[in-house]
Structure 1
Amino acid sequence: MNALNMILKLREWEEELEKQKFIGILTERQRMEGYLRELEERFRSVGFLKESNSMELLSIYNEMQYLLTRLKEAQEIMQKIDEELQAQRQIYEEAFKERKKIEQLYDRLINTIKMQRQKLEEKLISDVFISRLRS
């Protein structure tokens, strides 16, 4: 019974670690979403060719190129974060299922112990009753 309690506590600890990883990934995802919004805003803010000379056009082109590169990198990072988030979610779900199985095992053990105790008590009462009848 102590072993099951220990296993249950270890599972709870592992589950808490997985929750912390999950929260960390979600935080990173939110940070990347903000970064993507910032890049998209910056991209939208580029003025489009209103009486511009060639230096201004080159500057706009360079800014657009920079923004597109950063946007692509940020999207790739978001995809990796989403993949890691999905993997973490699966790990968390598996840990939760395993914890439930351990809890069910624990409940079965408790019920088995109660039934055995009840049988022993009935046997003890029966033995006491029979011994009094014999006396």
Structure 2
Amino acid sequence: MSPPPRNPTMQHLSEALDDSPRRNIRAFKAHPQCQPPSTHPTIFFLFDFLRNSYNQLKAVDAEKYAAGDNAAKAAVIEIIGRNAFTNTLINDKSGKLSIMTGGDPSKPVDFGPEIKNKALILTQ
């Protein structure tokens, strides 16, 4: 996980708001086990967690972040942590994620390479 830039800019924040999170959300929406009416509980949990992280990022005032506002910096650091946690959960092999989300730990969900890759990108 990379720390936030030393000299944060509005451009850096805008880039973070654009591609990576939205692409990851689209990958979740396209996952076969994320389709109604029987969405897999683990997929839904992580999709919702990721969507909430993205909404938190969109709520950060880019100008305050660029000016070094402590609250804006803390919000971005929180989102960076949430992205790292998402990546950790997606790569969970222990079955604990399934237990936590009401799934069957003996049949963990396969997120597939696209979601795994996009989750890794969010941590960089």
Task: Specify which structure has the bigger relative contact order, considering alpha-carbon pairs within 8 angstroms and separated by 6 or more residues.
Answer: 1
Point out the structure with the larger helix share.
Answer: 1
For normalisation by structure 2, the TM-score amounts to 0.38
Greater Rg over alpha carbons, structure: 1
For normalisation by structure 1, the TM-score amounts to 0.36
